[in-house]
Structure 1
Amino acid sequence: MNLKRILISACLIVWIAFAQGQSIQRAEPLHWWVGMHNPELQIILYGTDIGDCEVKLPKAGMELKRVHRVENKNYLFLDVAIQGDAQAGIYPIELYKGGRKVLSRDYILKDRDRSLVKAQGVNAADLIYLIMPDRFANGDPSNDSVKGMRETAVNRDSMYYRHGGDIQGIINNLDYLEDLGVTALWMTPVLTNDMPKASYHGYANTENYQIDPRFGTVDTYRELGKELHKRKMKLIHDVVPNHVGLHHWTVLDRPSSDWLHESETFTQTTYKDQTMFDPYGTRADKDFMEKGWFVETMPDMNHQNEKVQKYITQSHIWWIEEAGVDGFRIDTYPYNDLTFMGKWKEAIRSEYPRFTFFGETWVQSVANQAYFLGGQKVGQQIDTKLEGVTDFQLTYAIGDALNQEKGGAERLYHTVSGDYLYPNPMANVIFLDNHDKDRFFSTVGEHLEKYKSAFSWLLTYRGIPQMYYGAEILMKNFSRPDGLVRDDFKGGFPGDEVNKFTAAGRTDKENEMFNHVRTLAQYRKRSRALQHGKMTHYVPQNDVYVYFRYEEDERVMVIMNCSDEEREVGLARFTEGTAGAKTVRNILTGESSALPERVSLHGRQTVVLELR
């Protein structure tokens, strides 16, 4: 055999060995669409030692603009442009070594599903219902435990193990939510969370393009969106751009040393949101806040890395287009790089102009909340473009209003008077409790009248109301530890002795509360004043707080007695609000009468009156 043949044979052996030892294990996003507003796409290829390969896209319609090679030879980042005349179909991605093709991966471009309702946005006309899917209803027991995942145990007697709730269980109970008056559904994250402990809550995702198989599939999630839209309801997707789970695939094999925020030793965030706007603060303190890990199991993503930015942004656009998502709730919003969040929001809005966002801002003042919103109304150096936040300040205020012996009404009045700091107060999400806070029924000492007043306030005040699953049936407990406020909705799981989804399964008090919420929520669906109307309120007197929601031809008057004592409230003081009304209808009782001179309220009662 001559030297030439020996060399050719040696090369063939190398090429065969190369091909046998390699594969393209991942390509993300999983697929994309033709006809998007932004034609540019970053495709991540992942496979053993592919980083030195040359890349070709042989089919016209998807043009390779640039290949980014990173420290880790298992990655290639491709910048591609989808041509305006590109057709849906298969587009091969070919890898070459020494001029010879060694690997290929088919990439799919799809036509956009124009029949799929999506990106409607969530606004003050909506009532959001927050569900922790693992704890609401089990519609498919076959997926309770999935072999090969790090956590397989299912134990409903433990607050930390999985209980088996899933997306199908929610689909099965949408009629219940519709009857209650809910118009938008927000679930805690449903992406794969392959963590060894407490994976049920979803906030440490390990995949960006998968539904956790214990919750269902992408098809199940898509079906949920369709079923909601049939009922004229909306789907809110909980996104976590700040961090991922410790077992996320890009953490287990990092693309580069700057993929995450890391230091030589574990550095946790200080949780001090003030450092982000403190005029006297240090750069170091800001970095500890924004770049520190939320907890040890949640690595902090490096938002200064453009590849990370694209990876996060594209994955969120993917879910809108794939599943018909209408809005995003943004987890741990103050911990994100705010410059990136402004770019992120603009990228999504360029594709979906009506899409809306609200960020979790668990902070300690109205001014702190306002800082994280867009518009630079309070002198921010960065415009985050964000329109709404979770209004923790009003949550604190309504608790004080109903629990303090004196002065609670003043606290509520004082807090909402700071609305001038917000670009659009109506875009803020108001709530009584959520998956991290004490159940409000426990907050008010299981005092039914206080609790009913709280819901009367929630469903008539400015902003977007959000309620936590089971609040309508008096679910209770304190959040120390947080698993106590994440109990199962009884009747949603096989073997439950009672079914709280039905009137027959609820106690008299539970039905009283359910009907209170339902009456107000269903009225709210018909009331333009409560959905989009302006608000006027009066300085509280004798612990009584009065406010009005109104449009030109519709007015609602709300009288809150924040005292334990009975109050007689004369209406002569409120002529600016009553605006010549002649009759009133009590929304909760249905009774109508001439506009009275005085209204009597027993301790902690709230009255909701439609003025005519």
Structure 2
Amino acid sequence: MKALNQILIVLLVTTVFSCKKTTSEEKVVSETVTEIRNDIQRVEPPNWWIGFKNQSVQLLVKHPNIGNATPKISYQGVSITKVHKADSPNYLFLDLEISKTAEAGQFNIRFKLEDDSELVQTYELKSREKPAKDYIGFDSSDAIYLITPDRFANANPKNDEVKGLLQQGIDRADDYARHGGDIQGITEHLDYIDDLGFTAVWPCPVLTNDMPSGSYHGYAMTDFYEVDPRFGTLEEYRKLADDLRSRDMKLIMDQVANHCGLQHWWMTDLPFKDWINYQELYEENIDNWDWKVTKTSNHRRTTNQDPYASKKDHQEMADGWFVSDMPDLNQRNPFMANYIIQNSIWWVETLGLGGIRQDTYPYSEKEFMRNWAGAIMSEYPNFSIVGEEWSYNPLLIGYWQDGQKNKDQYDSNLKSTMDFAMQKNIVDALNEAESWDKGLVKIYEGLANDFAYTAPKDIMAFLDNHDKSRVYTEFDGDLIKTKMALSYLLMMPRIPQIYYGTEILMDDFDNPGDHGLIRTDFPGGWEGDTVNAFTGEGLSDAQKEMQSFLKKILNYRKTSDAIHNGKTVHFAPQDGVYVLARMIENETMVHIINKNEDPLELDLERFEELELKGKR
């Protein structure tokens, strides 16, 4: 009789439970994960977090014939709100809602197939390591050190070759081959970078570039969620970020929203018919695409602003492939748009980034770029993003800065753009030989164009980078001009960026402007190097002088309130002299460029408003 009563009680409980109506406010019993399962080929993002302002995430699921599966999640606070089939049967896109009640943990996503079999993928929600407001971006108080990782330092020769990748081996004699530099090489030399006075590091991309050639530069990504094993591991990337933070320094990630590499894993099975631009043309001409791609792109970035631009010109600029081996991503496809936005946020959260540099900014759909930057800045209000606008026209540079009152009402949500205009002005001004004042006026009037920017000191200025000739080459090996230019750069109301090796006068004299040569190996980064810039061994007197000069200015700049926040005043060039001042309550900084061969005495009466009399 006792056993029978137990059976009746169980049946009664089961009946009550099965008849009870559930509501969205009631708790769902979470499935206990007793075994980690990874039956699915790809799920991206590979994990997510609780506590975001935007409580939804869209998962890309890639597996043979997964399109006909029925997914299910049993985890408190997480629900599937919509399932999207793709054009390819090998994809599903799952919209998940993560409520405020959701807790960090692992859960299984179960995919029931048409034959009633089941695939299981374990997914993880993580706790965020710090509040969104604590993701502090770079600003004008920072000085950024730009590095091409393959050419900086090879700390781990064991990862120089990785089986299975298309490009094998290293050849330091070939400027376009891989040379072996890695993430660990940057981490091991943070003492050097910190001691010089830099406060942030921007490495060119280190994600997987499984391309048959040119894979060293990192801009043809074939996996947006994987660190290239020839650069290291995700753990080593995190260590770089952590070690920088421990020094109160920032890691800026170089990202690419416009294109991927031709060997990206999805190129053999694209999810949708419009996943990339000119997809139909590409699929029809795969064997002859290198020729066809030249017909799809005009690189006319001004069509973004030009009120008279033809639709055809704008389409060829926005949709055309950057180069033949970099497919142009179609951000008008909402799944692609979500993919790129979530990928950026995933890296911000995974690495605790101090900023993003976005490559080829004007080439993407500008409405998407507004949404992309807006989504990031909404989650991280104190963050920073700089976009590459390779233009010498301040109007085009200023167009992309957040808050700009553009006639077409476009607001980018982008805090910073890159100042190619001032780079050219500085180089041209100091190289001008016919008339000293005429040359210096190019700098003077260049800075006067700051009225075109909503926030001039949030613009990123530079003298050289991974795409432009070395500044020492631009000045034909003139040490004095190089010093003038660098000191002026560090005084301007800007965020300064300096390319690795500029501090030791690295050059590209043999072939000015050649990308492979611009990205020369940093001496001392490889075992057996006879010159070591990290220790000073083998450097010339001029190299040591420049290194010491830059170190002194950078370290002073770190604590200069006048440079960070001061008022800017400059005086029109006279008699071959140009004066720039930065002023705040108890500090006045004055920068003087004198293009005369001999010393010149200045009459302080002209500079009376700077209140320099009696000061040292």
Following superposition of structure 1 onto structure 2, how do residues 468-487 of structure 1 map, counting pairs within 5 Å? Answer: 468-477=499-508, 478-487=511-520
- Is the CA contact 2:134–2:382 (under 8 Å) kept in the aligned structure 1? no
Equivalent-residue separation in structure 2 for 1:221 and 1:414 (angstroms) = 42
Q: Point out the more displaced range, 160-169 or 491-500.
A: 491-500
1:540 matched to which residue of 2? 573
How many angstroms does 1:580 deviate by? 5.1
How many angstroms does 1:250 deviate by? 2.1
Aligned with residue 55 of structure 2, among 39, 64, 68: 39
Q: Point out the more displaced range, 130-139 or 480-489.
A: 480-489
- Is the CA contact 1:118–1:321 (under 8 Å) kept in the aligned structure 2? no
How many angstroms does 1:23 deviate by? 5.0
Find the residue that maps to 1:567 and give its secondary structure: coil
- Is the CA contact 1:23–1:48 (under 8 Å) kept in the aligned structure 2? no
Equivalent-residue separation in structure 2 for 1:46 and 1:127 (angstroms) = 42
Aligned with residue 549 of structure 1, among 578, 582, 601: 582
1:169 matched to which residue of 2? 185
Find the residue that maps to 2:146 and give its secondary structure: strand
How many angstroms does 1:117 deviate by? 11
Q: 2:220 aligned with 1:204, yes or no? A: yes
Q: Point out the more displaced range, 128-137 or 36-45.
A: 36-45
1:454 matched to which residue of 2? 485
Find the residue that maps to 1:539 and give its secondary structure: strand
Q: 2:158 aligned with 1:119, yes or no? A: no
Equivalent-residue separation in structure 1 for 2:557 and 2:448 (angstroms) = 23
Partner amino acid, structure 1, of 2:321: W
Equivalent-residue separation in structure 2 for 1:474 and 1:550 (angstroms) = 31
Q: 2:332 aligned with 1:301, yes or no? A: no
- Is the CA contact 1:34–1:110 (under 8 Å) kept in the aligned structure 2? yes
Equivalent-residue separation in structure 1 for 2:402 and 2:73 (angstroms) = 40
Equivalent-residue separation in structure 2 for 1:470 and 1:235 (angstroms) = 19
Aligned with residue 356 of structure 1, among 384, 390, 404: 384
Partner amino acid, structure 2, of 1:444: F
2:10 matched to which residue of 1? none
Equivalent-residue separation in structure 2 for 1:33 and 1:401 (angstroms) = 50
Find the residue that maps to 1:475 and give its secondary structure: coil
Equivalent-residue separation in structure 2 for 1:283 and 1:374 (angstroms) = 25
Distance 1:504 1:115, change over 3 A: farther
Q: Identity rate of aligned residues, in percent?
A: 43
Following superposition of structure 1 onto structure 2, how do residues 42-441 of structure 1 map, counting pairs within 5 Å? Answer: 42-98=58-114, 100-114=116-130, 119-262=135-278, 264=281, 265-266=292-293, 267-405=295-433, 406=435, 407-441=438-472
Find the residue that maps to 1:279 and give its secondary structure: coil
- Structure 1 gaps of 5+ residues are 1-21, 585-612
Equivalent-residue separation in structure 2 for 1:337 and 1:276 (angstroms) = 9
How many angstroms does 1:562 deviate by? 3.4
How many angstroms does 1:101 deviate by? 4.1
- Is the CA contact 1:377–1:422 (under 8 Å) kept in the aligned structure 2? no
Q: 2:40 aligned with 1:24, yes or no? A: yes
How many angstroms does 1:568 deviate by? 3.2
How many angstroms does 1:565 deviate by? 5.6
Give structure 1 regions of 4+ aligned residues with deviation exceeding 6 angstroms: 115-118
After superposition, the CA RMSD in angstroms is 1.7
Equivalent-residue separation in structure 2 for 1:420 and 1:41 (angstroms) = 40
Aligned with residue 543 of structure 2, among 498, 503, 510: 510
1:525 matched to which residue of 2? 558
Partner amino acid, structure 2, of 1:277: Q
Find the residue that maps to 2:67 and give its secondary structure: coil
1:579 matched to which residue of 2? 611
TM-score, normalised by the number of residues in structure 1: 0.89
How many angstroms does 1:53 deviate by? 1.1
Find the residue that maps to 1:531 and give its secondary structure: helix
Partner amino acid, structure 2, of 1:459: L
- Structure 2 gaps of 5+ residues are 1-37, 282-291
- Is the CA contact 1:387–1:423 (under 8 Å) kept in the aligned structure 2? no
Equivalent-residue separation in structure 2 for 1:280 and 1:114 (angstroms) = 47
Number of aligned residues: 562
Find the residue that maps to 1:200 and give its secondary structure: coil
- Is the CA contact 1:126–1:464 (under 8 Å) kept in the aligned structure 2? yes
TM-score, normalised by the number of residues in structure 2: 0.89
Equivalent-residue separation in structure 2 for 1:298 and 1:462 (angstroms) = 36
